[in-house]
């Protein structure tokens, strides 16, 4: 079979790496890919938002399955373009991807189908939003309704900050279309957790849980990022809690969407807060998480093509997933300055030595090949994923591998999975 993967990050490198292990797969293409993906797939330069050009490429090259990594092409309807042309794709339609692309749509579905989430109100008018804030209590959670590349959520500790956040969205239009509507949400306390599942619109097949580290510095300090590390499984997740998420969050959401005439085919990602009252949804994503995927896929023993093909064909009911008991820790190596401005084009050293450590995989995120050398090309540069018998061992391997890698201004968190040790 021939497989095409869309995207250029660490998530896509992990996907390509796992797909390449399938005995069903002969050839993999990636649009556009990165310096690491180039080692296992043929990277092709086509604009990710030109869905017709991507579909033509898939047709011309007899691609059997196209797998979409990031949210933007999904929200833009790439799955619909492929479906119209009879091409097989893994990823939800634009209507289904609204579960990520419109926070108010997600809230409506959750409310209607009884999925636990924080109380929230939607505003388009600045004065109304400010009046609501004045009657609410700190901390305030303000979210742009649409896709804002992970930057559309502001947690404000006082009323002035909260007003500024509302102004930035509704008056200054800092997030463009995405911020024309804002959600003001109840602040939820607890530990965060990500549970991803395959879904064909009828059956939900959950994956092992993972935890993401969003802040740039140790001890969860500094700005929010795309994710500075992850680990799987998550010791706070008992089988009771896991079942609760499947029964009260994932199943009712997929069934609720189906009842609305929306068949959800792809990965659904529930971002949850484990509160004293139980798990509550912070957000849904319509795709694999980054960097959660880099800690989840190394634990998957099954052939990933089986659930992916079954999702695309709508017959997921008979598929089972097998996982190793080994745990996985993923440390993100970022360019100094990220998530603010940073420099690129620095040569990366030590990759082969780091990758030679048993149980370690290096997934590239922001890298490219330049005259035969791998250089930095983004904010998040590499993901170092290590499997181990327990979190202490996996952490030791991951950080040993990290110590072999060097590039100018490299920054990483030193506390990834520390809280999972001893559990
Ligand atoms: P989201 O993109 O909605 O997941 O929000 C990004 C991050 O903001 C989450 O991972 C949480 O750390 C935080 N966050 C979002 N909503 C809330 C909330 N209602 N209460 C507390 N923290 C939140
Ligand atoms: N790790 C967060 C995300 O993928 O959105």
Q: What is the pLDDT of residues 336-364, one digit of tens each?
A: 999 999 999 999 999 999 999 999 999 99
3-class SS shares of the chain: helix, strand, coil, % to 5: 35, 30, 35
Q: Which residue has the CA at smallest separation from atom 6 of ligand 1?
A: 153
Q: Are residues 195 and 289 in the same domain?
A: yes
135, exposed or middle or buried, with CB in 10 Å at 0-12, 13-18, 19+? Answer: exposed
Among 11, 143, 193, 285, the mutation site with the greatest number of ligand 2 atoms within 8 A of its Cβ is 285
Asked if the structure places residue 99 within a domain, the reply is no
DSSP line for 211-252: EE--EEEGGGEEEE-S-SEEEES-TT--HHHHHHHIIIIIHH
Asked if the structure places residue 100 within a domain, the reply is no
pLDDT, residue 188, reads 95
Q: Is the CB of 190 under 6 A from ligand 1?
A: no
The residue among 185, 208, 223 that closes a domain is 185
Q: Are residues 199 and 306 in the same domain?
A: yes
Judge if the upstream peptide bond of residue 291 is cis by omega within 30 degrees of 0.
yes
Q: Which residue has the tokens 């995989």?
A: 361
Token representation of residue 358: 């048993």
Q: Are residues 88 and 126 in the same domain?
A: no
Q: Is the CB of 69 under 6 A from ligand 2?
A: no
Contact present, 26 and 40 (Cβ < 8 Å): no
- Cα–Cα nearest to 223, from 341, 117, 136: 341
- Quote the domain boundaries for residue 125: 119-185
Asked if the structure places residue 109 within a domain, the reply is no
Asked if the structure places residue 243 within a domain, the reply is yes
Q: Are residues 370 and 308 in the same domain?
A: no
Q: Looking at the CA of residue 212, tell me the nearest atom of ligand 2.
A: 1
Q: Looking at the CA of residue 118, tell me the nearest atom of ligand 1.
A: 19
Q: Are residues 399 and 332 in the same domain?
A: yes
For residue 216, how far is its CA from the centre of ligand 2 (angstroms)?
A: 14
Q: Are residues 300 and 203 in the same domain?
A: yes
- Rg over alpha carbons for the chain, rounded to the nearest Å, is 21
The domain spanning residue 180 has which CATH number?
3.30.1490.20
Do β-strands 27-32 and 2-7 pair in parallel, antiparallel, or remain unpaired?
parallel
Q: What's the first-to-final CA gap in the chain, in angstroms? A: 42
Asked if the structure places residue 252 within a domain, the reply is yes
State pTM to two decimals.
0.95
Angstrom distances, CA of residue 9 to CA of 13, 93, 391: 6, 22, 25
Q: Are residues 294 and 236 in the same domain?
A: yes
Asked if the structure places residue 103 within a domain, the reply is no
pLDDT, residue 138, reads 83
Judge if the upstream peptide bond of residue 233 is cis by omega within 30 degrees of 0.
yes
Q: Are residues 167 and 69 in the same domain?
A: no
Q: Are residues 198 and 283 in the same domain?
A: yes
> Cα(113)–Cα(216) distance, rounded to whole angstroms?
35
Residues of the chain with pLDDT under 70: 150-151, 423
Asked if the structure places residue 412 within a domain, the reply is yes
Token representation of residue 417: 């999975």
Q: Is the CB of 260 under 6 A from ligand 1?
A: no
Q: Are residues 89 and 16 in the same domain?
A: yes
Q: Are residues 225 and 143 in the same domain?
A: no
Q: Are residues 237 and 155 in the same domain?
A: no
The domain spanning residue 348 has which CATH number?
3.90.600.10
> Cα(326)–Cα(386) distance, rounded to whole angstroms?
10
Q: How many CA atoms lie within 13 A of 188 on its CB side?
A: 24
User: Which residues, including other chains, have CB under 8 Å from residue 176's CB and lie 6 or more apart?
Assistant: none
For residue 194, how far is its CA from the centre of ligand 2 (angstroms)?
A: 9
Residue 348 has what DSSP assignment?
P
Contact present, 381 and 407 (Cβ < 8 Å): yes
User: Which residues, including other chains, have CB under 8 Å from residue 142's CB and lie 6 or more apart?
Assistant: 153, 154, 156, 162, 165, 166, 169, 182, 183, 184, 185
The residue among 155, 185, 215 that closes a domain is 185
Q: Which residue has the CA at smallest separation from atom 1 of ligand 1?
A: 283
Asked if the structure places residue 105 within a domain, the reply is no
Q: How many domains does the chain have?
A: 4
Q: Is the CB of 120 under 6 A from ligand 1?
A: no
Q: Is the CB of 118 under 6 A from ligand 1?
A: yes
Contact present, 53 and 29 (Cβ < 8 Å): no
For residue 278, how far is its CA from the centre of ligand 1 (angstroms)?
A: 16
Among 104, 153, 249, 285, the mutation site with the greatest number of ligand 1 atoms within 8 A of its Cβ is 153
> Cα(215)–Cα(421) distance, rounded to whole angstroms?
20
Q: Which residue has the CA at smallest separation from atom 14 of ligand 1?
A: 282
The residue among 148, 164, 185 that closes a domain is 185
> Cα 204 vs. chain centroid, distance in angstroms?
18
């Amino acid at each position: 079979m021939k497989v095409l993967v869309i995207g250029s990050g660490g998530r896509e490198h992990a996907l390509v790496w796992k797909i390449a292990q399938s005995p069903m797969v002969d050839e993999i293409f990636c649009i556009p890919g990165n310096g690491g993906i180039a080692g296992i797939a043929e990277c092709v330069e086509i604009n990710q938002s030109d869905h017709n050009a991507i579909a033509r490429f898939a047709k011309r090259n007899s691609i059997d399955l196209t797998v979409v990594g990031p949210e933007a092409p999904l929200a833009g309807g790439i799955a619909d373009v492929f479906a119209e042309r009879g091409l097989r794709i893994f990823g939800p339609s634009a209507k289904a991807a609204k579960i990520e692309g419109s926070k108010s749509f997600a809230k409506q579905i959750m409310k209607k189908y009884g999925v636990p989430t924080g109380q929230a109100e939607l505003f388009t008018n600045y004065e109304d939003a400010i009046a609501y804030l004045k009657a609410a209590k700190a901390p305030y959670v303000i979210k742009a309704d649409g896709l804002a590349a992970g930057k559309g959520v502001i947690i404000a500790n006082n009323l002035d900050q909260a007003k500024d956040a509302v102004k930035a969205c509704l008056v200054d239009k800092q997030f463009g279309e995405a911020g024309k509507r804002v959600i003001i949400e109840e602040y939820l306390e607890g530990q965060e957790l990500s549970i991803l599942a395959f879904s064909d619109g009828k059956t939900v097949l959950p994956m092992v849980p993972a935890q993401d580290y969003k802040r740039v510095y140790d001890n969860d300090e500094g700005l929010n990022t795309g994710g500075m590390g992850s680990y799987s499984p998550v010791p706070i997740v008992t089988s009771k809690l896991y079942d609760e998420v499947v029964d009260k969050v994932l199943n009712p959401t997929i069934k609720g969407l189906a009842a609305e005439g929306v068949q959800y085919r792809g990965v659904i990602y529930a971002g949850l807060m484990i509160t004293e009252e139980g798990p509550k949804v912070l957000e849904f994503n319509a795709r694999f998480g980054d960097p959660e995927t880099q800690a989840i896929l190394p634990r998957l023993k099954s052939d990933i093509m089986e659930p992916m093909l079954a999702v695309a064909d709508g017959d997921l009911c008979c598929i089972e997933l097998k996982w190793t008991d080994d745990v996985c820790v993923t440390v993100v190596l970022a360019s100094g300055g990220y998530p603010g401005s940073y420099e690129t084009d620095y040569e990366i050293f030590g990759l082969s030595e780091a990758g030679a450590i048993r149980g370690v995989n290096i997934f590239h995120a922001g890298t490219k090949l330049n005259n035969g050398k791998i250089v930095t090309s983004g904010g998040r540069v590499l993901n170092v994923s290590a499997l181990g018998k327990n979190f202490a061992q996996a952490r030791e391997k991951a950080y040993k591998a990290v110590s072999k890698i060097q590039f100018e201004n490299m920054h990483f968190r030193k506390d990834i999975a520390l809280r999972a040790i001893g559990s």
